[in-house]
């Protein structure tokens, strides 16, 4: 089942990449349209310098670079980088001296992302083939991990969280956009609302997300819903840090992380609090699943 789901995800996003590589498709590319998924979540200033195909390929559910507070000289890693939109934005923010890596398991997405980087004239971006459950980068080599609507697609989320903690330098930061479910939605409830490849059935709840990050040793965990993407399903920003090293840090920070996870789980607002928009009301005949994540 796990292998089949992963193959389904790869096939789905390979087709999405080919749609852009082979010509204008009907999904994506309209930066003014969908306020829930894709390029409508970015500002005109962010999209302005990007090639049209990088914008057209945007399949995210947020704008992680907007909250990651990227600084010149930093090393950034984007998990599931797709057509590269967040890598290209991040690369500009960490210049001079910084580097933005995109990691994706789908060859067609990597081809598209590399073409977009060349078209954008961005030289401090690298796109790497691999899975987010086994990140092909050394321990403590990354200042900031970002990701946009990808972790929900993993069938092994505890491994993803452990890998994030491993590659972050002590004091490094996590800034992720993802689909997150209300805590009272069961896995079956989530599956009723959309399929796995469309970023819905595999979504964690707020509490599950916070607990998973805390279990991996991350601290200062905050989950902030930004907009509704369906019935009690949200686009959310997920932020955390890898505790800084130091005498007694691991025990102290592990306790802090566990507390932070629980606080985040409890503090989450019900639908309404900070929700910026309403979710889609029906299936999009273009995108097929009612979510334009894929
Ligand atoms: C919904 S798209 C988001 C792409 C990009 N982040 C964006 O905002 O446009 C999901 C991407 O994650 C990749 N992906 C999904 N599961 C993955 C995994 N386990 N390891 C690596 N990449 C994965 C897919 O190939 C696809 O490019």
When pLDDT is cut at 50, 70 and 90, the band that residue 33 belongs to is: low
Identify any residues that bridge with 131 across adjacent strands, giving them in sequence order: 134
Ligand 1 atom, smallest distance to 293 CA: 1
Closest C-alpha residue for ligand 1 atom 20: 131
Q: Mean pLDDT, to the nearest integer, of 282-294?
A: 37
Rounded to the nearest angstrom, the distance between the alpha carbon of 81 and the centre of ligand 1 is 6
Average confidence score pLDDT of the chain: 85
CATH superfamily for 2-22+36-267 is Vaccinia Virus protein VP39 (3.40.50.150)
Res 292 pLDDT > 90: no
Where b means 16+ CB within 10 Å and e means fewer, 132-163 reads: bbebebeebebbbbbbbbbbbbbbebebbbbb
Determine whether the shortest distance from the Cβ of 60 to ligand 1 is under 6 A.
yes
Rounded to the nearest angstrom, the distance between the alpha carbon of 246 and the centre of ligand 1 is 35
Res 290 pLDDT > 70: no
Res 287 pLDDT > 50: no
> Which has more pLDDT, 256 or 146?
146
Q: What is the pLDDT of residue 71?
A: 97
Q: List Cα–Cα distances, 264 to 16, 156, 256, in angstroms.
A: 34, 22, 12
Alpha-helical runs (H) found in the chain:
2-21, 44-47, 52-56, 64-67, 85-94, 107-120, 157-167, 187-193, 206-215, 249-267
Rounded to the nearest angstrom, the distance between the alpha carbon of 128 and the centre of ligand 1 is 12
Check: CB of residue 147 under 8 Å from CB of residue 199: no
> Which has more pLDDT, 227 or 276?
227
Q: What is the pLDDT of residue 210?
A: 98
Question: pLDDT per residue over 191-242, tens digit each?
Answer: 999 999 999 999 999 999 999 999 999 999 999 999 999 999 999 999 999 9
Tokens encoding 4 = 């089949």
What is the value of pTM for the model shown? 0.86
Determine whether the shortest distance from the Cβ of 177 to ligand 1 is under 6 A.
no
Rounded to the nearest angstrom, the distance between the alpha carbon of 113 and the centre of ligand 1 is 12
Rounded to the nearest angstrom, the distance between the alpha carbon of 262 and the centre of ligand 1 is 28
Closest C-alpha residue for ligand 1 atom 5: 82
Question: pLDDT per residue over 83-100, tens digit each?
Answer: 999 999 999 999 999 999
Determine whether the shortest distance from the Cβ of 20 to ligand 1 is under 6 A.
no
When pLDDT is cut at 50, 70 and 90, the band that residue 289 belongs to is: very low
Determine whether the shortest distance from the Cβ of 221 to ligand 1 is under 6 A.
no
Q: What is the 3-state secondary structure (H, E, C) of 55-120?
A: HHCCCCCCCHHHHCCCCCCCEEEEECCCCCHHHHHHHHHHCCCCEEEEEECCHHHHHHHHHHHHHH
Check: CB of residue 219 under 8 Å from CB of residue 149: no
Determine whether the shortest distance from the Cβ of 50 to ligand 1 is under 6 A.
no
Res 31 pLDDT > 70: no
Q: What is the pLDDT of residue 249?
A: 52
Tokens encoding 171 = 């004091």
Please, what is the end-to-end C-alpha distance for the chain in angstroms? 20
Site to probe by mutation for ligand 1, drawn from 11, 13, 17, 38 as the one with most ligand atoms within 8 Å of Cβ, is: 13
Check: CB of residue 204 under 8 Å from CB of residue 194: no
> Which has more pLDDT, 233 or 66?
233
Rounded to the nearest angstrom, the distance between the alpha carbon of 59 and the centre of ligand 1 is 9
- In this structure, the number of other CB atoms found within 10 A of the CB of residue 273 comes to 9
Res 14 pLDDT > 60: yes
What are the boundaries of each domain within the chain? 2-22+36-267
When pLDDT is cut at 50, 70 and 90, the band that residue 293 belongs to is: low
| pLDDT above 70 coverage of the chain, percent | 79
Site to probe by mutation for ligand 1, drawn from 104, 129, 201 as the one with most ligand atoms within 8 Å of Cβ, is: 104
Res 269 pLDDT > 60: no
């Amino acid at each position: 089942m796990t292998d089949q789901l992963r193959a389904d995800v790869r096939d789905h996003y390979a087709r999405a990449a080919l749609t852009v590589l082979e010509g204008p498709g009907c999904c994506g590319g309209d930066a003014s349209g969908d306020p829930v998924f894709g390029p409508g979540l970015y500002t005109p200033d962010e999209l302005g310098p990007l090639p049209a195909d990088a914008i057209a390929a945007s399949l995210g559910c947020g704008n992680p670079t907007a909250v990651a507070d990227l600084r010149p000289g930093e090393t950034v890693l984007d998990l599931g980088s797709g057509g590269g939109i967040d890598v290209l934005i991040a690369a500009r923010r960490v210049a001079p001296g910084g580097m933005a890596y995109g990691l994706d398991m789908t060859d067609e997405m990597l081809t598209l992302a590399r073409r977009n980087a060349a078209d954008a004239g961005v030289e401090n971006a690298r796109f790497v083939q691999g899975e987010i459950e086994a990140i092909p980068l050394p321990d403590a080599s990354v200042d900031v991990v970002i990701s946009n609507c990808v972790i929900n697609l993993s069938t092994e989320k505890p491994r993803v969280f452990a890998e994030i903690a491993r590659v972050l330098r002590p004091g490094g930061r996590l800034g992720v956009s993802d689909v997150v479910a209300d805590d009272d939605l069961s896995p079956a409830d989530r599956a009723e609302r959309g399929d796995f490849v469309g970023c819905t059935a595999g979504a964690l709840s707020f509490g599950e997300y916070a607990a998973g990050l805390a279990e991996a040793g991350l601290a200062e965990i905050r989950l902030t819903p930004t907009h509704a993407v369906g019935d009690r399903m949200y686009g959310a920003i997920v932020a955390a840090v890898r505790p800084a090293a130091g005498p007694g840090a691991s025990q102290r920070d592990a306790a802090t992380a566990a507390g932070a996870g629980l606080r985040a789980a409890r503090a989450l607002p019900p639908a309404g609090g900070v929700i910026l928009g309403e979710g889609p009301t029906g299936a999009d005949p273009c995108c097929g699943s009612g979510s334009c994540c894929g």
